[in-house]
Structure 1
Amino acid sequence: MISATETRSGKGHTDENFPVASRLIQKQYRAPILAFYDFVRAADDVADHATLTPDEKVATLDALDTALTGQGPTDPEAEPLRRRLAERELSPRHARDLLDAFRLDARKNRYADLDELMDYCALSAMPVGRFVLDVHGEDPQRTWAASDAICAALQIINHLQDCGKDFRALDRVYLPADVMARHGAVIEDLGAERASPALRAVIADLARTCENLLEEGRPLLHSIRNTRLALEIAAIHRLALVLAKGLQHRDPLSEKVHFSKVGFAATTLASAAAMLLRRGFSARGTA
């Protein structure tokens, strides 16, 4: 059986579309979050490997699972997170949910409707936000639901940005079939150099869904006790809103609908500063 280390793509947390444990996060929280990210990145690379069969992918993911829970041989990709979880007495449940998402990726490459895609997001995206909140000791009752909405939006935005690449490289289509049919788009449209008008309509439709999810998740920005985590999430929320609006008018098949490094930094700093000001005024108002 091939190991997870052998499938690593070389992609790291600084290569992601949204901040991952940026310097806004306090040092004591960054280590477990980065260990979580590294484990998830290794598992994601297994699921996306170009030459492994579905059974080989699942077997490698199963090995990561048993290594993380201590029920099987140790694995260098799982051991750092296993140790961090033990140090903080945290459950591996969120990481294991993500492994289930990657098992799905190994065997499933089409989604019938938005409900089915949201079920996937419940495994592939929502556990990430929940883990970060748990690490910070935030109250699940106050934060998880809004976090879930934001994380689902981030996941779908990534799907839209990469829809052409996912189809060409992996024959994987996350755009729901019923939305495609409603706008008259066909899967083969994803293989073109430019998006057809029908596919552009699908992408815009799903981008508006992301806007709605981000609005649903907005209360999270004011529910988090840890100020620096609130700043990080405010930055992510703003980045996602800009991308969701951009995807309603731009073509991810023929152009990169991503931030430049300068745009990324400027948007992050502006949104974090605005959140800090709001928190300052709020604190004065309750003093």
Structure 2
Amino acid sequence: MSAALDTATATRSGKGHRDENFPVASHLIHPRNRPPILAFYYFVRAGDDVADHPDLSSEQKIALLDGLADALTGAGPSDPEAEPLKAELAARGLPPLHALELLDAFRMDARKNRYADWNELIHYCRYSAMPVGRYVLDVHGEDPARVYKASDAICAALQILNHLQDCGKDFAKMDRVYIPEETLRKHGATVAMLGEPTATPQLRAVISELAGRTLALLEEGRALPDLIDDTRLSMEIAAIHRLAVLLTRGLLTRDPLSEKVHHGKAAFALTALGAAAGALARRPFRGRLARAAA
């Protein structure tokens, strides 16, 4: 194994799909579709760990990310982090586009740690979040023209929600701030406030505004479960959407610097189960619901 691959392996955080804030290839997903989703997750996790590694320079990170991309496309040496996804893509006849776009987002993280405004943040989400939803939909054979737009809105919302929940940690550990500078200025807040033990009223106003915009994205994607042909995927996305709405509403009243935004596992499970059951109950009417959404 090359020195580059040794370095890539050493950057792994040890985080797995069960450690994420939202379900990843849960047992709601049909068993035949779980392997390609998990292969995608662990390839992306390897890239994310590189981008977040505190001891690597920007140049080292980009070199490792380029190596992952080349291994996936066959343009460079094989990499154990890329081989499972490469095999799944070949078996399904799927292109590597979505995984490569996520690597572009990690390159942004290696070079950039501030965002000027909401549009710049959404541009980041286009590469850091939207490809995830698109890949899962492609694995299930869904129609991009029907489902991508709603999926993009939900994925951007999930990404921004994570940014808001982790705003203090991101600033303290990596000097990375996803909160738009324009929004901070609007409410008289500063980046330095992210390093305080509790959020100031100005920063709370910033988080509240961004949470409201995130809820608008979730509303834009609300119809997605009823647009999807695969019943099990519809239930999974309905559960994720409901959990995201619950957490985002929590940010309207909770301080992510000093309070836990997440609820307990039991409450989350009940919320997800209720949303999945609701999606299942709507299946007989999904044609009418999809037309109404359109």
Please give the TM-score of this superposition, normalised by the length of structure 2. 0.95
The residue correspondences of 1:23-102 to structure 2 (distance < 5 A) are 23-102=27-106
- Aligned partner letter, 2:161: I
- Across the two proteins, how many residue pairs are aligned to each other? 285
Paired AA for residue 80 in structure 2: P
SS at match of 2:33: helix
State the match for 1:213 in structure 2. Answer: 217
Q: After superposition, what is the alpha-carbon deviation per residue over 1:111-162, rounded to whole angstroms, capped at 9, x for unaligned?
A: 0000000000000000000000000000000000110000000000000000
CA distance 1:155–1:282, shift in 2 (3 Å): closer
TM-score (normalised: structure 1): 0.97
Where structure 1 has 5 or more consecutive residues not aligned to the other structure, the ranges are none
Give the 5 Å matches for 1:1-287. 1=4, 3-280=7-284
**SS at the partner of 1:27?**
coil
Q: Is 45-54 or 251-260 further displaced after alignment?
A: 251-260
Pairwise CA distance, 1:279: 1.5
AA aligned to 1:152 is: A
Work out the CA distance in 1 between the residues paired with 2:229 and 2:61: 39
Measured in 2, the distance between the counterparts of 1:172 and 1:159 equals 10
Q: What is the percent sequence identity of the aligned residues?
A: 64
Displacement of 1:278:
1.6
Alpha carbons of structure 1 residues 282 and 153: separation in structure 2 relative to 1, 3 Å: closer
Secondary structure class of the residue paired with 1:71: coil
The whole-number CA distance in structure 2 between the counterparts of 1:155 and 1:271 is 20
The alpha-carbon deviation at position 93 of structure 1 amounts to 0.2
In 1, the alpha carbon distance for the partners of 2:286 and 2:46 equals: 41
Distance 2:72 2:288 in 1: 45
The offset of 1:3, in angstroms, is 2.9
**Quick one: distance in 2 between partners of 1:39 and 1:3?**
15
> How far did 1:163 drift?
0.2
In 2, the alpha carbon distance for the partners of 1:62 and 1:282 equals 43
